[in-house]
Amino acid sequence: MKPGLLFASLSAALIASFIAELALGPVAIAPGQVLAALWPARDTNGSAQVIVTAIRLPRAVLAMLVGAILAVSGAAMQGLFRNPLADPSLIGVTAGASLGASLAIVFGGALAGMAGLTVVSIGAFLGAAGAVLLVYTLATRELVTSVTTMLLAGIAIGALAGAATALLEFVATNEMLRRISLWQMGGLDGATWTRVAVLVVVALPVVAGLLALAPALNALLLGESEARHLGFAVDAIKTALIGLVALGVGVSVALAGAIAFVGLVVPHIVRLTLGPDHRLVLPGAALAGAVLLLAADVAARLVVAPAELPVGLLTALVGAPFFILLLRGSRDYAL
């Protein structure tokens, strides 16, 4: 597919899914009422305006930002590791966040949060940051970072954090265990304008920084020695990539829980469609990730209405079989 056509299609899908996120749910609101609610000067139904502006609009913006960050981070990790099956969890960020959130739920339930964020969100971010820092430290020797060592360290730290989380689940009460399980499934039901503001502050430098590193990622596809010969500071680039991905995914997971497969499936599909050029793959993944999470959140609210499925559970249920079909249909695919 031509890049222009794909980006136009994704932009149209983003607008449609954003409007659907505002209109659909246990209380359906007509598109005309949605537009009226977003335009304060126009007369509109009072309850519809409250639902749209106070509940669904921050949730839609949060879903869009989280989906974009997870997908563009997954694309960057696939380029760094030169492996289409890589995703941000390989550097321990998701396992660390899960451990941090579990610690906060078990031991910090009575503590207050800061700046409108819950103690669970703060704990999840600290856990993610700690895990990534430990992985990076283990993989770096004399200012040289080994991608292979980073991968192995990420697996080890992820397994250790998973074991610690399981231990906390073993000693947790039933209520604590339920909270841990729901957090691990991911969800956008806690969206507030405070959380949106935090994520906007993080998303802008993270996405802009990763897009700026697209030429370096293209060079890394040739190999690290070749990239050095082309004039790229490979170790500084790897540090910047890890730092940006850790920040973006850490904050996203802290605010929305663990949402699976967005950072794996979306970049893979975009790469199959556009080819390996990261100047196209990264913005394409950001758009597609936003569309996917918006659509998944709409479906999560409708499938078992008036109840609501955790959106991370839905992305895993749909994403895993779809990814298996992709793998079966692209055996000769390589970066």
pLDDT of 329 = 66
CA distance 300 to 275: 31
Phi, psi of 234 (to 5 degrees): -60, -45
Evaluate if residue 117 carries a pLDDT over 70.
Answer: no
CA distance 72 to 70: 6
Q: What is the mean pLDDT of residues 42-48?
A: 65
Give the model's confidence band at 89: pLDDT under 50 very low, under 70 low, under 90 confident, else very high. Answer: confident
Evaluate if residue 330 carries a pLDDT over 80.
Answer: no
Which domains, from first to last, does the chain contain? 3-329 (1.10.3470.10)
Phi, psi of 221 (to 5 degrees): -65, -25
pLDDT in tens, 220-272: 988 888 999 988 999 899 999 999 999 999 999 999 988 988 998 899 889 98
144-145 and 140-141 strand pairing: antiparallel
The single residue listed with the structure tokens 């009072």 is 46
Evaluate if residue 334 carries a pLDDT over 50.
Answer: no
